[in-house]
Structure 1
Amino acid sequence: MRCDLCGTDEAIPFKCRYCNGTFCSVHRLPPNHDCLFMKDYLQQPARDREFLEHIHGRAGLPQERIKSALYETFYLRFSKTEVLHLVIATALVTAVGMSFYRFQFRWDFLVIFISAFIIHELGHKFLAQFYRAWAEFRVLLFGAVITAFSALPFFPFKFIAPGAVMVSGNLSESRSGKVSWIGPLTNLAMGTGFLLSYLILETAVGFANKILLAGVWFNGFIAFFNLIPFMGL
């Protein structure tokens, strides 16, 4: 879809909530496309305007730059659509994880499966927003359907790729690579933590909860699928 102002073909276009126009990442903000409803935009809380302008290179007053940078770094913004998609994808991933245990309900397993997936996706989103890019998770139909089928006990193999964090912005190749890698790296870090905990407990007291091993293999499983080019989460 093309930007209404400059005609740039944008894979993930932005729709202005005020004038309903469609714009590229450069012209998405009302001040950047001479929005007819600038008054409505200016009536937003200053904090929200500051965040939107800062992530697009329009930093506020000099004395506010440190505050803006901290706000940008640690504040993750979620749309209602993204939350819905995350809930759907998390349910699918959890179902696949539970299918390994014939759907025996256990809270500790739920924590493992949900945390492995959510932290993975937040890793992508956090780093992309840190680099001043737009980033939101979206369910992908093909991946979601295959993931749902793989949750069935009789399905011959397991597949976890219900969606991905969509990123739009002027990211360099290096930064794009880092955004892609941060997801599986979080899983590898979590899996390593579970493994070390298991080994320490087994050595120290001669007993370790096998839920820790579930944390190892499930995080490794998600990391593996993310490293396959056409199956990235």
Structure 2
Amino acid sequence: MNQLYFQEHTLQKHDGSFWHFSKREMNDLILATLAFGLALAFMRMGGIFTILSSGDSLLSVIITMLIWGILYILALGPAFIIHELAHKFLARHYGCWAEFRADPKGLKTGIIIAAILGIVFMAPGAVMVAGNISREQNGKIALVGPISNLILFGIGIVGGGLLLGITTNIFVNQFVIAWLWGNSILAAFNMIPYGPLDGRKVKNWSEPIFWIFMIFTLGLVYALLTSQFEPILQSISNLI
């Protein structure tokens, strides 16, 4: 997601380093990624009530959550971080100020929901953009986020297939699954034309482009649900 802030006065074109990250932005990205990983670990464990009823020792639970948390951060962290940075860098390309800001309330709520219900529904934050841009530029800044996830999805199909051809390790298998699901869902969810989500800005700019990407991203999710990509992954893995 990206959030645009219009100001009454004309903002100066950004002249700093294109690759600049402030200390606060780096801290917010790390905080949001770790919180996301913790929520996903709770989801994997089925929530705190499932954990309590399992009879496992506290040490065993901590180790298991740590393992899955790290795996999900490695698999889904790029989906989240690259999505946000895609917004940032295109906004910077247009001469805007742009930085990621975590939403502490959204992070806390997401972790609580994951801990209690065993599902992940989190608003980790957004890239804040300030500058004078057109509706088209705003739409493109929004669209580049889901596009980055589609690119990562394609990388996951090829790279995941090759990894599965090298090893049948359960963690590698779960890594590939998480990578594909994470990128497809993040792309489709952000294309919803509501509130601060990317889809609303894309639709305000171009309805045809909005519907192309909305249908395509939903199609990816459906294809994963119906195991349409399994033969493709298998064919790629057989190359090894």
The letter of the residue matching 2:183 is N
Q: Which residue of the partner structure matches residue 27 of structure 2?
A: 84
The Cα of 1:179 is off from its aligned counterpart by: 0.7
| Pairing partner for 1:230 from 185, 190, 195 | 195
Q: Which of 1 and 2 has higher RCO (CA within 8 Å, sep 6+)? A: 2
**Does 141-150 or 157-166 show the bigger shift?**
141-150
**Does 94-103 or 211-220 show the bigger shift?**
94-103
- Say if 1:170 and 1:186 are closer, same or farther in 2 by CA, change over 3 A: same
Q: Tell whether 2:157 aligns with 1:195.
A: yes
Q: Which residue of the partner structure matches residue 98 of structure 2?
A: 135
Q: Tell whether 2:163 aligns with 1:170.
A: no
Q: Distance in 1 between matches of 2:161 and 2:143?
A: 27
Structure 2, gaps ≥5 residues long? 46-64, 199-240
The letter of the residue matching 1:98 is A
Identify the structure with the greater helix proportion: 2
- Say if 1:133 and 1:140 are closer, same or farther in 2 by CA, change over 3 A: same
Structure 1, gaps ≥5 residues long? 1-9, 14-22, 29-53, 57-70
Q: Which residue of the partner structure matches residue 55 of structure 1?
A: 14
Q: Which residue of the partner structure matches residue 116 of structure 1?
A: 79
The Cα of 1:129 is off from its aligned counterpart by: 0.2
The Cα of 1:170 is off from its aligned counterpart by: 1.1
Contact 1:97–1:218 (CA under 8 A) maintained in structure 2: no
Contact 2:82–2:148 (CA under 8 A) maintained in structure 1: yes
- Say if 1:232 and 1:98 are closer, same or farther in 2 by CA, change over 3 A: farther
Root-mean-square deviation (CA, aligned residues, Å) is 3.0
Higher-Rg structure is 1
Contact 1:135–1:165 (CA under 8 A) maintained in structure 2: yes
**Structure 1 runs, 4 residues or longer, greater than 3 Å off:** 10-13, 106-109, 196-202, 204-209
The Cα of 1:146 is off from its aligned counterpart by: 2.6
Contact 2:6–2:132 (CA under 8 A) maintained in structure 1: no
TM-score, reference length from structure 1: 0.61
- Say if 1:174 and 1:105 are closer, same or farther in 2 by CA, change over 3 A: same
Percent of paired sites with the same residue? 30
